[in-house]
Structure 1
């Protein structure tokens, strides 16, 4: 499976961070491409994008001050396939990206993503008390995966909170 390139630039409003690309994303070369993934719908519903982008439009995010990266670049069917060594290397690389690009907000797409990045046992959605990189606010949203049991309306409240913060 091929890797999916980061959508990233300096001084973004929000850099979204996932576990790693799924198989559909690897097939298409675009982020959050799984058929049941709600990421693009959530961005549009929160007015972070002017309409619901298709995954193949992920490059347009930069024009709105948004970007995407992953803690681990290797695609897999599930995050359970990611090794400890991949997480360890990914933590270092992600911290370097945050230091280099300095987004206003590092938004982790799932509590598990933030847990793996920080090694904190207890993580909840929303603003985190302390950020890993000085000057970059850490925010956690529920995973947009179709497997998530959290209702869309509840997920949306977090994206709306993000929108208010960067507006």
Structure 2
């Protein structure tokens, strides 16, 4: 599912999903960054720590390069975003824009039926669910039929979590997903 968006007079493609039915886990960003949308590859930004964290947390035997993002499917994981519109920073999205994208996003998760979904950051789940107080980790309510997790956003702009803290949080999800039949 791709489309085009106009930003400052330039047309920018939205980022294609890396999904297939029945994955163990789907990582869900809020929306694509401009660079990721322009290249067509998830977590392409220079300061983004996603691929490094995924490898260090044990999801992949080697660090995947953004241009090889589709290889994540080999490990039972996929990638998507709640809002398809690319921005330089997620803060450029309004809460309403995220809320409006929420129902279509929920249907997408129901259609692909992963066992688990990991929201990268609290912002999207908070807006979709209307819940202001979201905790890190496993959520009490499922999302689109999947067990839902909230992980820290790996963006380099997220200074609240250093690399070790990110790896620990992601490893917790990996271990839980691996131990679920």
Q: TM-score, normalised by structure 1?
A: 0.94
**Structure 1 counterpart of 2:17:** 6
Q: Of 73, 79, 82, which aligns to 2:84?
A: 73
User: What is the deviation of 1:79?
Assistant: 1.5
Aligned counterpart, 1:24: 35
**What SS does the corresponding residue of 2:18 show, helix, strand or coil?**
coil
Task: Determine which of 139, 142, 151 is the counterpart of 1:131.
Answer: 142
Once residues 47 and 57 of structure 2 are traced to their aligned partners in structure 1, the CA distance between those partners, rounded to angstroms, is 18
Distance in 2 (CA, whole Å) between partners of 1:114 and 1:83 is 13
Match for residue 98 of structure 1 among 90, 101, 109: 109
1:119 pairs, out of 111, 119, 130, with 130
Superposition deviation, residue 84 in structure 1: 4.6
Distance 1:85 1:143 in 2: 20
Structure 1, unmatched stretches of 5+, are none
How far is 1:80 from its partner?
2.3
RMSD: 1.3
Which SS does the other structure have where 1:138 is aligned?
strand
Q: CA deviation at 1:75?
A: 0.7
TM-score (norm 2): 0.87
Which residue number corresponds to residue 3 of structure 2?
A: none
Q: How does 1:34-73 map to 2 (within 5 A)?
A: 34-73=45-84
Distance apart, 1:133 and its partner CA? 2.7
Q: Distance in 2 between matches of 1:116 and 1:34?
A: 24
Give the deviation of 1:117 after TM superposition. Answer: 2.4
Cross-structure match for 1:144: 154
In the alignment, structure 2 segments of 5+ residues that lack a partner are 1-11
Distance 1:89 1:44 in 2: 33
* CA distance in structure 1 between the partners assigned to 2:17 and 2:165 by the alignment: 27
Cα distance, 1:85 vs structure 2: 4.8
